[in-house]
Structure 1
């Protein structure tokens, strides 16, 4: 056995020494690359791919799910903040269904399922009431969690002791609810009223006035009072901040949606700042205008004309005694009528009707006084700001200026294009992000990269095999040439000594028939 191994080793060594240094280096490099590619492919195929199955978990729910996965021997990964649990991708669907069926996502609160899982026989009335209240709290929590803006909820119900006497306010139930609102989500007044109504209609003898709801920061969320549809429970300052934030957010979302299509959602960041006036103005305008604007005349509603004429020929009686009348000046001689007298009197009265307009104006409780928009765009080549062309920047600038112009159209300001342009800023700048780790992880997580490495290794291996086959073929041809019979030697010429001829014959025998050569050596050793 050892002789066979030694023989193969010598043959391999002899065959290896036939190659040049360059061929040996190529072969070794090909084998190393092939081995690395096989290792990477094997690792990628054997690596477990995890998929997020549960997100935004509370500590209680995360603990329940973790215990379930450990009991079921299902591998999992928990995020650093403990709010996300990932499971193998091929088991994600079944795990989600199983966990949901057990009510573990809601922190183990199964609601009325506790009565279906176990009987209540043997329980006292007090124990039954405790279980019932706990189940009712769980069901209410499930209902509230179905609201999109709520990520978690805690419900506490207080049932008073039943009294045999007439029911009064002390026998009414009460409830407290704490809501955890998702970051960036809007929890409007309609949703607040929904929570109040859900709790009030689900619990017996629970009026709205006995319900307290607050968010995770302790701010009370007050329901709309009857007859006060505008009541929100917020102070004036808070209401102003909410309106301002909503207005800025609306413009930001519109700008982001437009530019995100052009450059990519992760290539654009938008900041909007608005200055708003919340003074509510009430004024009364009393206007008087002419119906006929061209001639500035009113409408004729009545017309009255009068004419008088008087004629005298001067033949009237002589005057009385001078100075004897009560109205006459004493000792002044009166004048008699002399000559003919004519007189006329004409009058015309026209009544006009005009427009009388009274405007009671109540202006909007808020108005935009000023607006500025700042947009950061990551160029196509992050480290080269010039890769974002000036034409593209001008297009974005003009679009944002148009938005600002429309928003400030009712402010009464006569803004020039230059003033509007100062309210818009476009910044071509690479975004700060941990690109090194993300890119490295993304490269090695891609199956295409592994396929490319495998293809490259296969190509190099093929080239190496081709070179070896070609080399072996050349060696065989050379060997055939060497094995050709030599020319007939003339007796008079002695080219080689007998020892050289014997040595060559032995080498040829060892190369062609190694077994016969070994037997020959054994025979010689035995004879000696």
Structure 2
């Protein structure tokens, strides 16, 4: 009763505005205490299953409700969270009941319960469905892919089928928000699907995402690099590689987050084949010269007698032919050759701040780790002076504002932040209890002070009554001077008590 008596004493002592303010503070403290209690006593929730279909999510949630297990649905009902200490037990229980998440299409388990007497057409369709499901599950293993669907088209093998008809496949993927599939992954999916289907080439595999964007390119020319068969993708790939190399070299000296590198590659995409034949000096293998020959013949007359022999001259002219050694060279220019680079670097070249010593030295410094010319020489040497001209290289020193880097250097990682939040959550009940005890102590002290004031007022009344009784008996200037001194001393030492005493006298007079 003493506690409530003290509260009542304080409540009667304060005014209307102070009462309203005190009531609002108490109400806010109660609401905060309830919220803190719920937050502190709530179990830590962790992911049980993610990327669920709506029907699978509803089935698992219904089962968890029957098991009286608290759960949370997030990400539009596609992610299911349960208390951290029950994850593995729940997964085992759901596996026993056959409620583990599955791909949208069945795999080879479609043949587990196959009935006798199934027609060859149905078997063929089931095999096609099983292959599509297995490929979809395999594609979902790639990083960044949440869901995959595969559709395979096979030409019917009949006596009227032409040899030019080939199988084809289409792949639809749903990519994680904010994720972009690299061309190397797209090429890997194409070759993976083509390798699993007989008679299917990578160029016959079409890949698109859930946003309707075509990810694959069905051109038949050879890829430039790692499946990137477009100029834009190839250019972006080599620029990213070069920028990464330069950035790593800069961050090794300057530190993480203190440099930004932008590169632009100038490519030669022409494709040509040049054949060169070079003749060398040597001895002719075959040579024929001009020649003249004379032939003598005997000529018979009309009587049949032989006369003196005659002569006939024959001349032949043959052009000389020379066969000399030769060298034939064939040169093929592959598209994608780098003709030059353009590089821009923005870096914080200032030296790290030194700690301030006792004598005041250190702190802010204007020293540089390296100059802009040093950075230019490093980049020019790394790329090559024949590929990087001076007018295509820019380096600028700018002090960076790096709150993320400062937090990282201070060790405030995401895991550390989560650990701090968990500590605050666990200690919130203790802090709230301490606050309640302090509030009770303040209220008790205020009530005790009010009681003491009342007691002092009562004592003052008694003293006043006693003094009033003595006043008529006191005579002379000494008695009046003594009373004045007592009243003055009480006014200086206990003005509140004197005020209550005068108020009591006035109330008695009324």
1:454 aligns with 2:427: no
Deviations, residues 179-220 of structure 1 (Å, cap 9, x unaligned): 55665556354x4554344324433x3332673133432142
Q: Distance in 1 between matches of 2:343 and 2:10?
A: 85
CA contact (8 A) 1:181 1:187 kept: no
CA contact (8 A) 2:74 2:80 kept: yes
Deviation at 1:235, TM superposition (A): 3.4
Tell me the TM-score normalized by structure 1: 0.49
Matched residue SS, 1:371: strand
Cα distance 1:180–1:39, how it changes in 2: closer, same or farther (>3 A)?
Answer: closer
Q: Distance in 2 between matches of 1:153 and 1:400?
A: 49
CA RMSD in angstroms, aligned pairs only = 5.8
Match of 2:193 in 1: 199
Q: Distance in 2 between matches of 1:105 and 1:260?
A: 45
Deviation at 1:139, TM superposition (A): 0.5
Among candidates 13, 16, 20, match of residue 21 of structure 1: 13
1:138 aligns with 2:138: no
CA contact (8 A) 1:371 1:404 kept: no
Deviation at 1:225, TM superposition (A): 8.2
Q: Distance in 1 between matches of 2:22 and 2:451?
A: 14
CA contact (8 A) 2:261 2:343 kept: no
Cα distance 1:256–1:77, how it changes in 2: closer, same or farther (>3 A)?
Answer: farther
1:108 aligns with 2:104: yes
Q: Distance in 1 between matches of 2:258 and 2:59?
A: 41
1:276 aligns with 2:276: no
Match of 2:279 in 1: none
Deviations, residues 350-386 of structure 1 (Å, cap 9, x unaligned): xxxxxxxxxx9x9963543332236799xx9xxxxxx
Among candidates 220, 238, 241, match of residue 236 of structure 2: 241
CA contact (8 A) 1:374 1:426 kept: yes
Cα distance 1:126–1:444, how it changes in 2: closer, same or farther (>3 A)?
Answer: same
Aligned residues: 355
Cα distance 1:32–1:181, how it changes in 2: closer, same or farther (>3 A)?
Answer: closer
CA contact (8 A) 2:48 2:82 kept: no
Match of 1:67 in 2: 58
Match of 1:214 in 2: 207
Among candidates 162, 168, 172, match of residue 174 of structure 1: 168
Matched residue SS, 2:264: strand
1:77 aligns with 2:73: yes
Deviation at 1:140, TM superposition (A): 0.7
Deviations, residues 482-522 of structure 1 (Å, cap 9, x unaligned): xxxxxxxxxxxxxxxxxxxxxxxxxxxxxxxxxxxxxxxxx
Q: Which has the larger radius of gyration?
A: 1
Q: Distance in 2 between matches of 1:209 and 1:12?
A: 84
Deviation at 1:420, TM superposition (A): 7.8
Matched residue SS, 1:87: strand
CA contact (8 A) 1:275 1:368 kept: yes
Q: Distance in 2 between matches of 1:450 and 1:248?
A: 51
Deviations, residues 56-84 of structure 1 (Å, cap 9, x unaligned): x4xxx4424432344223643333xx496
Matched residue SS, 1:411: coil
After TM superposition, the structure 1 = structure 2 runs for residues 415-494 of structure 1, keeping only pairs within 5 Å, are 422-428=395-401, 446-447=424-425, 448=427, 451-462=430-441, 464-465=443-444
CA contact (8 A) 1:54 1:85 kept: yes
Matched residue SS, 1:161: coil
Match of 2:153 in 1: 158
Unaligned runs of 5+ in 2: 273-330, 354-362, 405-416, 459-510
Deviation at 1:137, TM superposition (A): 0.5
Deviation at 1:148, TM superposition (A): 2.4
1:411 aligns with 2:393: no
Cα distance 1:475–1:122, how it changes in 2: closer, same or farther (>3 A)?
Answer: farther
Unaligned runs of 5+ in 1: 1-7, 262-267, 283-359, 381-388, 432-438, 480-528
Deviation at 1:138, TM superposition (A): 0.9
Q: Distance in 2 between matches of 1:148 and 1:106?
A: 18
Q: Distance in 1 between matches of 2:154 and 2:442?
A: 84
Cα distance 1:422–1:231, how it changes in 2: closer, same or farther (>3 A)?
Answer: closer
CA contact (8 A) 1:153 1:179 kept: yes
Match of 1:487 in 2: none
CA contact (8 A) 1:372 1:404 kept: no
Match of 2:343 in 1: 370
CA contact (8 A) 2:132 2:152 kept: yes
After TM superposition, the structure 1 = structure 2 runs for residues 3-42 of structure 1, keeping only pairs within 5 Å, are 16-17=8-9, 21=13, 35-36=30-31, 38-42=33-37
Cα distance 1:107–1:64, how it changes in 2: closer, same or farther (>3 A)?
Answer: farther
Match of 2:322 in 1: none
Q: In terms of mean alpha carbon deviation, does 129-138 or 205-214 score higher?
A: 205-214
CA contact (8 A) 1:277 1:367 kept: yes
Matched residue SS, 2:398: strand
Q: Distance in 1 between matches of 2:364 and 2:58?
A: 58
Tell me the TM-score normalized by structure 2: 0.50
Deviations, residues 230-256 of structure 1 (Å, cap 9, x unaligned): 584523454223322343355557767
CA contact (8 A) 1:158 1:175 kept: yes
Q: Distance in 1 between matches of 2:430 and 2:115?
A: 61
Match of 2:82 in 1: 88
Q: Distance in 1 between matches of 2:40 and 2:117?
A: 56
Matched residue SS, 2:338: coil
Q: Distance in 2 between matches of 1:366 and 1:473?
A: 95
